[in-house]
Structure 1
Amino acid sequence: MTTTTPVKLSGPMLAPASGSAKSLVVLLHGYGSDGRDLISLGQFWRDSFPDTMFVAPNAPQVCGGNPFGYEWFPLDLERDRDLSRLTGAEIAHPVIAAFLADLWAQTDLGPADTILSGFSQGAMMALYTGLRLPEPLKGIVSFSGLVISPEKLAIECASRPPVLLVHGDLDDVVPVAGSQAALPVLTGLGIDTTLHISPGTGHSIAQDGLDAATAFLRTRLNP
């Protein structure tokens, strides 16, 4: 009988500026990137949210398109893109959920203290994982993402934390239609969802999108 070693994620972490963590922001990077990329958001937010710990794990797989980065799931351009994303998300989901459970056990915090955010493929996984957790998170922030398999989410949605969708209107990697389509799906499930579209912005986070995310965090972390 063979046993499979559980995948453990690791990556950069920023301790709370105050020295005492009362909340967590977990940042999931995009395809071909790593945790060092998104931890920069934590560096931007750290002084504004001094009681928050920021964690940016590396995805579990070395990226097929960039051996210096990582991927939450491979991009299979030979197959149906929606099916490929669903297959990959189903595999990555328990890895991220286990990482969150370990993090909560280590910090004595929990879902109600945690905002899960991501960019591009990481945003897809933040939505996929965060809405399937049995206890609601403090919130989810999706930068340039989409909802993978809305029909499956309608069946499997287990909690309904507030969601902010941020997207550039000129994104040619994950088109803004992804977030536009996600809005009615999420609101239809009773999820408090806001969509912010950054004009003249491609596949990146513009200052106005960052400001919208900062306001979302402020409402949740400093009520």
Structure 2
Amino acid sequence: MPPILPNITLETGKEPKHSIIWLHGLGADGEDFVPIAEELELPVAVRYIFPHAPMRPVTINGGYVMRAWYDILTGAASAEISANIGRREDSEGIRASQIQIEELIAQERQRGVAAKNIFLAGFSQGGAVVLHTGLRHPEQLGGILALSTYLPLPQTLQAEADACAKVTPIFMAHGHGDPVIPYAFGKASADMLSRQHYELEWHGYDMPHAVCPEEIRDIELWLARRLSG
């Protein structure tokens, strides 16, 4: 088994029975979403886990080594990204990250957290990985938050998805002015999942490839409805 990813762990109370595993985007690290998590006012104690992606060369950035959940095998122009991001994918890298996130889920299960109380959250690349992983996980999770992202490897989903994922709530959100992952691309992923009867809630915001205060409040409300003692 691979070693547990290095991560930042933040507990909002004693002996939390709920966990949120939150993945950053390309080139960032686990620190990225700590401030946002600290803003959230939730009704129960939560253990946040912010893993650091491995360092790897990224083709889209000229092979520069940075933290990335998988390689992006497209050119640098946003139009080319829009056309190809779902066609030429680093399936090996995506699946390697899936295994590493499954290890973090298993760690929380060993700590006594029920699967239904484990949430996966991620932004951009991190959001793609949590969608990929959560929809294939063999237990119903508490929920999946996929922010400014898309569904990777969509052609394999029907064969690989677990039936439990049909009832795992999904929160997807995207900026109308996103120049990195176009809004239409994220919306197309959400529409595909909705057509396949996943329990999905979609939000669009007037923002670029980012997170905005309105989105944070919607995340807080969405989580609060699903967290219980």
With normalisation by structure 1, the TM-score equals 0.88
The more displaced of 30-39 and 77-86 is 77-86
Report the equivalent of 1:48.
42
Matching of residue 119 in structure 1 with residue 123 in structure 2:
yes
Pairing partner for 2:189 from 166, 176, 182? 182
C-alpha spacing 1:119/1:63, structure 2 compared with 1 (3 Å): farther
Alignment root-mean-square deviation, CA:
2.1
CA distance in 1, matches of 2:146, 2:92: 20
Residue 88 of structure 2 aligns to a residue whose secondary structure is helix
Pairing partner for 2:106 from 83, 101, 111? 101
The more displaced of 170-179 and 86-95 is 86-95
Residue 56 of structure 1 aligns to a residue whose secondary structure is strand
Report the equivalent of 1:165.
172
Pairing partner for 1:10 from 3, 6, 9? 6
Deviation at 1:222, TM superposition (A): 4.0
Unmatched 5+ stretches in structure 2: 76-80
Which residue identity does 1:206 align to in structure 2?
C
Task: Report the identity percentage.
Answer: 24
CA distance in 1, matches of 2:55, 2:140: 27
Report the equivalent of 1:20.
15
Residue 185 of structure 2 aligns to a residue whose secondary structure is helix
Q: How does 1:182-221 map to 2 (within 5 A)?
A: 182-199=189-206, 201-221=207-227
Pairing partner for 2:95 from 47, 69, 90? 90
Deviation at 1:38, TM superposition (A): 1.6
C-alpha spacing 1:33/1:10, structure 2 compared with 1 (3 Å): same
Task: Answer 1 or 2: higher relative contact order, Cα 8 Å, separation at least 6.
Answer: 2
CA distance in 2, matches of 1:195, 1:90: 25
Runs of 4 or more, structure 1, over 6 Å off, are none
Unmatched 5+ stretches in structure 1: none
Q: Deviations over 1:22-70 (max 9, x none)?
A: 201110010111001122222112x434411111001123464565x51
CA distance in 2, matches of 1:15, 1:63: 33
CA distance in 2, matches of 1:130, 1:52: 19
